[in-house]
Structure 1
Amino acid sequence: MGLTSNATLWTTAAAALLLFAGTVWQWPRLAGRGWRAVTGRVGLLLATQVALFAAVGLAANQAFGFYASWADLFGKENDQGVVVDHAEDGRPTGPLRVVDTRRLAGGGQTSTSGQIQQVAVAGRTTGINSPAFVYLPPEYFDPQQRTRTFPAAVILTGYPGTAKALVDKLEYPRTARELAKAGRMEPTILVMLRPTVAPPRDTECVDIPGGPQTESFFAKDLPEAVAAHYRVNKKPGSRWGVIGNSTGGYCALKLAMHHPDVFAAGAGLSPYYTAPSDPTTGDLFHGDKTRRAEADLRWFIKHRPAPDTSLLVTSSKVGESDYKPTMKFIDMVKATKKTRISSIILESGGHNFNTWRREIPATLEWVSGRLSSP
């Protein structure tokens, strides 16, 4: 049974319930002071607690999409092989392979609801392989619009996160479709993946000396691969958007600030502003003080030329630990008088999917308004 399957969750929950009932039933028989009785009580309590915590952990993983499989959980995820497709004239169309396709949940045909494609992307310059989901709006399949190109945006999860959660839990494709139908955003291609491109390591979208070149993958390889495979807007001056939550939010802001020639807009939902250093990240900079400083977005906005891009940050007055740092970051960006800054500040809201779902519609509309129309 898979890590995220309902069968696994209900089996574990049933085991916890049965162990609890068994503990209550057997307790009088194990009331003695002998080693058998003590061992029995300890064993029943331990088994019940383990089953209970496992059930709660599985439920939390299903709700928030931390890990996609048992291999992902234990850090043994295997890299996917990638096939390079070729056009009829023999030129490579880019290192991207479509693995599976499905319609938008609750929708009709692709011509009315769009399509979600599961893809594998291979970085041409970085050698990084990463799975992703691509949402193609229904207009992409309209025969009368077969020459139309579309704006594109990268959507990033937090750490560890799963790309599937962006589709099923945070519902980016459904929200984008509803906004487009209502005329509140342009039909847009969404490329959804997690920033953890070298699992289980948290690379924080950094080009690690001697390690994964994560920032270059997102800023160069990913846009090139997608643009070679799909009808992405390529007119002069057209740039992408990038959105993320938590770790993905930090990455989104950094990518837009470091690469304004690629990203016209970056939105961080509940972001932080500097790369952490902990057991999940390892040594990200290997003593390179310049790289470390530039990974601090507040240092960057103060000591580097202000990037010609638009930024959006979100937080909550109650429930988010980043509220004060976010307000300080807003003031620092405003002082540049070149980089544009916007914000969504809720009265209350935690660091969770429910809060981000409240912010996503306005964020998508904001990003769309800053991308070049085809």
Structure 2
Amino acid sequence: MGLTSRKLELLAAVLALAAVVATVWLWPRLAGRNWRALLGRSVVLLLGQALTLSAVALATNDWGGFYSSWGDLLGTDRGGIEFNAHASAHEPVRILGAKPVPLMLKNVPPGGSGGVVQQVTILGGRTGIVQSAYVYLPPQYFQPGYAHRTFPTVVVLTGYPGSPQNLISRMKVHTVAAQAIYRKQMQPAVLVLTRPSVALPRDTECQDVPGGPQARTFLAQDLRRAIAARYRVGTSARSWGVLGYSTGGYCALALAMRDAGAYTAAASLSGDYAVRTDATTGDLFHGDARLRRQADLLWRLRNLPMPPVSVLVASSHSGEADYRATRAFIAAARPPLNVASLFLPSGGHNFDTWSRELPTALVWTANQLRAGPR
């Protein structure tokens, strides 16, 4: 059974409950002072605690969407790998499957379509990284009236460790986009849903690690080229935006602010403004203080020319650790950097908060972009 399987969660809960019942029933029989009784009590207690912790851990993982599979948890399912012998530069995007997107709205006319979401693999021609993703295509993509037009593209990033599946099952990004397009709140756009981590279990924080994974190059160059080679999307920065939450929020801002010609708009939900160093990242800069400063977005605002891009930053007055840093970022920004902000009265660092912010942030990001003739 998969790590996120409902059957596994139910089995773990039943076993934990059974262990509690068994402990109550067996305890009088294990009341002696001999070594067998002591061993029996120890086994019963440890087994009960292990099963209870397992049930709680599985439920917590499902709620938070931290790991999507056993390989993801154990670090054997690596998000970015070297090309294998069958990878082809002529097939930068491999489509593994596709499903229609239901609008999930009342009073929708019969045949009303929300578009299509495809499960894909993206091959990085420059970095050699292979990344799983979903691509959302709006209904207009298949309509004759749009056959000779390109579409703007929004890249949507998870946090760390994250899984693209979270963007579908937890955030429902494709449905939020379909509804906004149907209501004419948002222009038709292609979405690429993926995670910023390209070398799991390591958290690369969207950096080009010296002698290591080139996450920034993959997201700023490889991904855009691969999608443009496969789909009818614009190729200039004015047609591309990026949105993310948590680590993905930092990555969104960093990609737009650091890589001229890559993204013209970015939205950060609960994102940091500098790279953290911990057990999951290791030393991403190999002791190079200059590289670390370059990755600090507040340092960039105070010491470098403002980038000509538009960004949206989101946080909460209560419950988010990045509130003060977000205010400092807004205060330090000057034209030609345009900053919009979104503040909730309260909200923690979780999917509930990001789901509340997503509709506004996604519409804002998409509407900063331009479509054009093919």
TM-score where L is the length of structure 1: 0.93
The 5 A counterparts of 1:72-221 are 72-77=72-77, 79=81, 83-84=87-88, 92=90, 94-105=91-102, 112-221=113-222
- Measured against aligned partners, the alpha-carbon deviations of 1:145-196 in whole angstroms (never above 9, x if no partner) come to 2223211011000000110000110011100111111111011111011111
The amino acid that maps onto 1:159 is Y
- Measured against aligned partners, the alpha-carbon deviations of 1:42-98 in whole angstroms (never above 9, x if no partner) come to 21121111111111111122222211211111011154856448xxxxxx4x51111
The amino acid that maps onto 2:273 is Y
Q: Quick one: distance in 2 between partners of 1:237 and 1:281?
A: 29
Match of 1:337 in 2: 335
Unaligned runs of 5+ in 2: none
The 5 A counterparts of 1:220-239 are 220-234=221-235, 238-239=238-239
Deviation at 1:36, TM superposition (A): 1.9
Q: Quick one: distance in 2 between partners of 1:353 and 1:260?
A: 31
Question: Is 1:4 aligned with 2:11?
Answer: no
Paired residues, number: 364
Q: Quick one: distance in 1 between partners of 2:309 and 2:73?
A: 37
Q: Quick one: distance in 2 between partners of 1:104 and 1:133?
A: 12
Q: Quick one: distance in 2 between partners of 1:260 and 1:58?
A: 42
8 Å contact 2:152–2:369 — kept in the other structure?
yes
RMSD: 1.9
8 Å contact 2:237–2:263 — kept in the other structure?
no
Q: Quick one: distance in 1 between partners of 2:354 and 2:269?
A: 7
Q: Quick one: distance in 2 between partners of 1:139 and 1:220?
A: 26
Match of 2:289 in 1: 289
8 Å contact 2:103–2:175 — kept in the other structure?
no
Deviation at 1:259, TM superposition (A): 1.7
TM-score where L is the length of structure 2: 0.93
Q: Quick one: distance in 2 between partners of 1:84 and 1:68?
A: 27
Q: Quick one: distance in 1 between partners of 2:320 and 2:291?
A: 28
Q: Quick one: distance in 2 between partners of 1:110 and 1:339?
A: 43
The amino acid that maps onto 1:2 is G
Deviation at 1:105, TM superposition (A): 4.9
SS of match in other structure, 1:72: helix
Q: Quick one: distance in 2 between partners of 1:212 and 1:316?
A: 33
Q: 1:237 to 1:2 in 2, by over 3 A?
A: closer
Q: 1:123 to 1:60 in 2, by over 3 A?
A: same
SS of match in other structure, 1:112: coil
SS of match in other structure, 2:264: strand
The amino acid that maps onto 1:36 is R
**Bigger shift: 35-44 or 204-213?**
35-44
Q: 1:101 to 1:237 in 2, by over 3 A?
A: closer
- Of 353, 356, 360, 1:355 maps to 353
Q: Quick one: distance in 1 between partners of 2:134 and 2:87?
A: 16
The amino acid that maps onto 1:250 is Y
8 Å contact 1:266–1:310 — kept in the other structure?
yes
SS of match in other structure, 1:348: coil
- Measured against aligned partners, the alpha-carbon deviations of 1:191-215 in whole angstroms (never above 9, x if no partner) come to 0111111111100000000001100
8 Å contact 1:110–1:141 — kept in the other structure?
no
Unaligned runs of 5+ in 1: 86-91
8 Å contact 1:103–1:110 — kept in the other structure?
no
Deviation at 1:331, TM superposition (A): 0.5
Match of 1:327 in 2: 327
Q: Quick one: distance in 2 between partners of 1:63 and 1:106?
A: 24
Deviation at 1:106, TM superposition (A): 6.4
SS of match in other structure, 1:63: helix
Match of 1:88 in 2: none
Match of 2:22 in 1: 22
**Bigger shift: 166-175 or 258-267?**
258-267
> What percentage of residue pairs aligned between the two structures are identical?
46
